[in-house]
Chains A and B, each alone.
Chain A
Amino acid sequence: MSPVSRRQFFVNSAKASAGLVLAVYLPGCNSSSSKPFAPNAYLKISTDNKITVMVPRSEMGQGVRTSLPMILAEELEADWKTIQIEQVGASTLYGSQQTGGSASVNSSWDPMRKAGAAARQMLLAAAAQEWGVDVSSCRAVMGAITHTSSQRRLSYGELVGRAAKLPVPADPPLKQASEYKLVGTRVGRIDTPAKVRGAAEFGIDIRIPNMKYALLARCPVIGGKVASFDDGEAKKISGVSYVGKISDSAVAVVADSVWGAMQGRRALKVQWDEGPNANLTSAKMMESMRQASAGKSVSLYAAGDVTKAKGRRMEATYETPLMAHAPMEPGNCTAFFQGTKCELWAPTQDPQDCQKAAAEALGLDVSHVTVNVTLLGGGFGRRLEHDYGVEAALVSKACQGPVKVIWTREDDMQQSPYRPATFHKLTAVLDGRGVPLSLVHRTVAPSINLQKGIPLEDGVDPDMKDEASLIYSVPNALVEFVRVETPVSLGFMRSVYGMDAAFASECFIDELATAAHKDPLEYRLQMLAKDEDIKFFETVWKTARMRGVLQLAAEKAGWSKPLAAGHHRGIACFGCFGSYAANVVEITMEKAVPKVQRVVTVVDCGQVVNPNILEQQQQGAVIFALANALRAKITLDKGRVVEANFDDYRPLRMSEIPQIDAYFVPSTEAPTGVGEPPVPPVAPALCNAIYAATKKRVRSLPILNS
């Protein structure tokens, strides 16, 4: 398979799975009445009325184990209480299973609806046949088919045998949004009870017979390699059973307990070949990006002619640092290599990529590698990487037995792929009233996708296509990308380039509003006043919907009302992954340090499947983004990551959490992303509030470093 971008995966998968759903049969499942009814790959109904929905996306906290089954159950007219789920591992039945790009609900919307609707039709037909009545006189209600005039009723389980013999309808009619009973309601999460009992099984909790534990010593310098190692002391540690080099850059220590493996790794002596990056620093990297900003660029968006605009010229530059995802569950994967096959238990956001990478590393055919997907203790993009999977596969092969590779927090902080550092230069020309005649946003950044072997599209990183880089109506506009190289391993972090783009562009818009002596909300609304479609690659952004989120955020935040003494606020909006988001951040200043008091966060993500989970995602996105804006920074010195644990890379804690009021704009448009879109407008809204308080602009993140 040739490399395909993360984004293209979603586009393809949405198309493929829509057709796939009715074409795929599970062999044998439809032939006997005692077996479950499985009209398609998403659904099984057993004779005892258990309805199992297959979930081909990974549960990392965003609620797919609840929201995806809700979509199917709605069309099936199932009783929600009878729904259970089965987590699907790497499979060939579902198109891409990558969990990212805020795309799980969006790309499952049609397949899940059609899967439920097709089954409902078959159950209706089965009941009509059984009773010898016209199908139009039967109704599907709460997991049963009823015949009102004769008061007869058969549960889905009772109809399984007959329904399984019927043809699967190709294009079942779908419900109108006005008919929804389950979709759009605050359903409690399926996974909550096990999580509060400590019974939920994350990757790190997997236990298989005779399993050992491994830690890896990896070169502390980016791109460095193992020169030699001395395992004498490590092997003296009780329980250590294997020490060996498993790749150019890592030595594995295997023991019968995690603690034993930790002690073994501590005792291991490795000579590193530090390679070409031993003098790399973050400061040098940022300096080279500043210099590159004058270089050759490609255009992401162009309107009019920016060279023609004459008037008051404004210019500012913005910088963002490397950041770490730091999910709470440290990296891990369990593998059992057995000669011609290998089985993995992985907390992964991309089981198919994990499968492919492990197969390549082991020299096996992909079909001989099984990947089971566990619960993920956070993802945020970190678990799109297959590093843990490949390591576990190689260590299992090397030590000839089942093994769980565990990363420590320090490993996670210092050896991970990071959100790239970025540099932005914005320029504008204002007319006499302060309205932009032209706007240019030049982003200097490395390409995450290209580093992973996924080609650029039209010269830009494919992930940049999902952001509404410029939604405002400006007659002459240019959004450009200057690509730089970096030896630092890069990863996709929640909202990817969106966070950086929004920080720069929405802070700059605020600067323009100030220059124009306009209220920041009014200034934005003025540039969005006309109903327009702004086509940005394949997404059509609507100024009306952006206006909608801004106005709702302003209304809920009381934008037109005076603030309490000492309080200040800022506003920002952004669009990515098909959704529109706006935030108002309210702060106080305590000894020159901003304290966030309240955040109003608003999203327009089309049809909302579960407002309970949406609210979680909005609150979580705000907190994640506040931590990024305030403190998140990975520093390189001598080619090494300086930060090591949660004392020097500090997420927000309980006492720092503001009141977060989450709202959404009701819509019956097809659902779009939720996990990421609220992130980008947080940092600029906060920085704009800081300006309101101090009259000083934040042009470099993190704020508490500036």
Chain B
Amino acid sequence: MKYISEFRRSELAGGLISHIRHRSKTRARFMEFCGGHTVTIFRYGIRQVLPETIEMVSGPGCPICVTANADLDKAIALAKVPGVIIATFGDMIKVPGSRSSLQKAKAEGAEVRTVYSTMDALKAAEDNPDKPVVFLGIGFETTAPTVAASILQAEEKGIKNYYVLSLHKLCPPVIRTLLDAGEVKLGGLVCPGHVSTIIGSHPWEFIASEYGIPCVVSGFEPLDILQCVDMLVGQVEKGESKVEIAYRRGVRPEGNRQALKLMEQVFEPAPARWRGIGEVAGSGLKLKSKYRRFDAEARFNIEPGPTIEPAGCICGDILRGVKTPSDCPLFAKTCTPESPVGPCMVSTEGSCSAYYSYGEGLGG
């Protein structure tokens, strides 16, 4: 497919690998923030072709993985409200909350529908005017504008039974929190590609200027990742720290102004809870008062009960990049993709799922 297959060409990958190996002299640890990048790195065996000087660690960039149990419990409690239809992206269904999951709630009679797009959720609301349809707003800056657009469409079409549970998360504030915690020392950051498509490359400047960490925005094909690593190595060897874009076909420095405009029209920053990290100021989005009638939390009085974390699960440490899945006593034993204990094993972009699927840390 155009603009995909060209960026998988092995002879160009070979050139980049030689270039990286040739010029990388200094030991450096690079974090790929985004779960999509983690998947590309594992699928194409990129860790194995990098020189010993470069260590790759996975970050918290999987919206499903970082959704706190308390928020997951809210979604499950909403699903149990009689008459409510829950519309959600697929991976959320299997994530275990404190006492149940959306999948279990569905088996017990709740109406939980998997949708590909907010457009499908809106359609469900139009087709079922007597039932409230709640879309689970889970995602980063890439997804939030599409949810904002759905609310504006609902307003335009006069759809009165469409609601959003806004659990969106913003990436730059949580990266600052991780860097301030100082648990993981980073020599470079592979900045998320499609988050940057929306917000541009400027919001990463503070990482380069205040923390002295090289930043390169990457795409999702293997050549994109290799080019990004090559550019990070270039900065490391020159002792520079700046923000560069390796994914120029998909990211402009200023981002997508229209998407930002719609997002800012509907949402405003709010505190958000991240699994393993805790509450981070300004890292979430809530509906502005003008759009409060679309807010599921305002419409329904949800009492999900006390939060219980899964015993023995170290997803939180893995999301902060301080442990790897193979450090977890549950990994590939009691926790597998068929029977996941924590969200990092459920989501296809979770570190545990990537390690499991590509045989990393399984021994033997």
A complexed with B: no
Chain B residues with CB under 8 Å of chain A are none
